[in-house]
Structure 1
């Protein structure tokens, strides 16, 4: 297994993975999976060899880099690929001078995963596409 994560200019393969995970598995309505933020987001694609198996996106607004649409296909889960997507996202955000924190809306069942990567939960539980989430953040040293 050769796992890589890289930034892509054409997010077509990212969209296919997101569709499989969010729409196919989690039953997120298709009209909620893609939005206007995709046009300006930084898209990351994870591969096992040449095979696309994971994706994430980053949207920067002010001093915050919001990591979202993090997903890994079933056959690649448990390989460390989700953590690699987050680490690469954080690397990009830390190298962006205006960004002082990373934020994300975590599905409740993934809170522990993000806590292990340094994120802290805040705020109340909220519904996003029929799935309970909670906001999380990681502040960078200023």
Structure 2
């Protein structure tokens, strides 16, 4: 039986780690999903970024930021070779754990295929399905 993989998620703010975060997002969103690059790179300085590694290899990324509406979770991306190994769940867990204690309104825009992942963490789809960067999404809000 293969050795279980070690998934580690860290909050990052130094440039070498941010470069890894941005490279993962570029590969997943711009490369695989054909998102326009100008839509992908926004709000970087006001966001708190996370890098997931699997056995030390960069595997996934995410971030959160405070908006006028509350706390928005964004840019969850896992490289193709690491999907299905629990990386996304660890990213969601780490981001939620990092939010301030007074974060009362937590939301995200989930791609259709990721709705089930976020539901496991108490998020509920709200409102109609919509398109963002050519991809179908639902707004989801965390219920306490």
Question: TM-score scaled to structure 2, two decimals?
Answer: 0.90
Provide the C-alpha distance between the structure 2 equivalents of 1:25 and 1:126, rounded to a whole number of angstroms. Answer: 20
Check whether the contact 1:9–1:43 (CA below 8 A) recurs between aligned residues: yes
Counterpart of 2:57 in structure 1 is 51
What TM-score does the superposition give when structure 1 sets the normalisation length? 0.91
Match of 1:120 among 79, 103, 124: 124
Q: Distance in 2 between matches of 1:21 and 1:48?
A: 17
What SS does the corresponding residue of 2:44 show, helix, strand or coil? helix
Question: CA-to-partner distance for each residue in 1:100-124, whole Å, 9 max, x for gaps?
Answer: 1321000112111211221100011
Give the distance between the partners of 1:123 and 1:9, measured in 2 at CA.
34
CA shift, 1:9, in A, is 0.6
Flag as ranges the 4+ runs of structure 1 deviating above 3 A.
none
**Structure 2: segments with no counterpart, 5+ residues:** none
Matched, 1:84 2:86: no
1:98, distance to aligned residue in structure 2 (A): 3.2
Say whether the 8 Å CA contact 1:14–1:54 is kept in structure 2: yes
Match of 2:81 among 75, 83, 92: 75
Map of 1:33 onto structure 2 = 40
